[in-house]
Structure 1
Amino acid sequence: MLTLRDYDNSDIEALLALANNKLVSRFLVYTFPYPYTRADAEWWISAGVKAEGDVTKVIEYNGQFAGSVGIARKTGWRDHLAEIGYWLGEPYWGNGIATQAVQQMTDYAFSDLKLQKLYALILAPNTVSMRVVEKCEYELEGVLKREVFKDGQYYDVHRFAKVLKI
């Protein structure tokens, strides 16, 4: 069973154990460091998940901390949309958990937050993540060439989006 819930200080150990993995961080944003330290986990739980306008949840699978999903709301003339992001610890890969979490967060963003559009930015080699959003009916809007420089190389970014159906 999958649930999305708020972070708690008791999540530090599980967060640290799953996040300190190069295979987890390799396609994530630069603010998700590797190595992932206790200080990173403590900061994330005390401040990082509390960014104004953002909603970040623990993905809990069968009662265990499995990863995280969140949305970062935009402001001004783009305040009707948000970027969605997610990650899972390696032991939880390949079970459809990310797809369930993205779908739950998407439904919440459209129904409760009244957002009109969500988008995901996915590095080109991360085809598994592309498949996750496709299963949730996100569509490819475009490819941004050499958009990201990470770990000594440039990556194309695939932008997927889902618009609220009216």
Structure 2
Amino acid sequence: MGLERRAAAPTLGAREKRVRLAVHSSRLSRREFALGAGAGIAVLGLPFAVVGQDPSQGWEQAVKKVLGDAKPIEGKVLIDMPEIAENGNTVPFTISVDSPMSETDRVKVIHIIATANPQPGVAVFRFSPLSGKATVAGRMRLARTQDVIGIAELSDGRFLTSKRNVKVTIGGCGG
């Protein structure tokens, strides 16, 4: 009457323990999954530059790709950059074009090209009439002393351009 025995929990044999251990170890932890996903996203993004220029393509080809056969009007793009950049890793810039920014008369796109960078296309900025002003500012990397070219594409198909020479004391693109 009080001597009831409970059935003992079945014990796992050595083979069953190995199988369970193998199944458990094949699961990814959250940390492993996050690290793997982050690495995969980073690797997928490496081949794509901001502009998508081929690194072997020179700055002349980058300019030709933007302009085609059009003849740009010189000196109408204001490029504000330091004359001497002590560190090419982070060179500040402001590029602006005087434009009414109406539906029919506006800057559509500003292209920035650095003539001595491994990938000359630095950035492309697109504008709408709602943009208000055709002005962009930021920081760019410059490999060494070089010209920075700003090209503005207008809504009527014309192109405006300017060039600014920047002396770099410490290169920012691995050079």
- Tell me the TM-score range normalised by the shorter chain: under 0.3
Greater C-alpha radius of gyration: 2
For normalisation by structure 2, the TM-score amounts to 0.24
Higher relative contact order (CA 8 A, sep 6+): 2
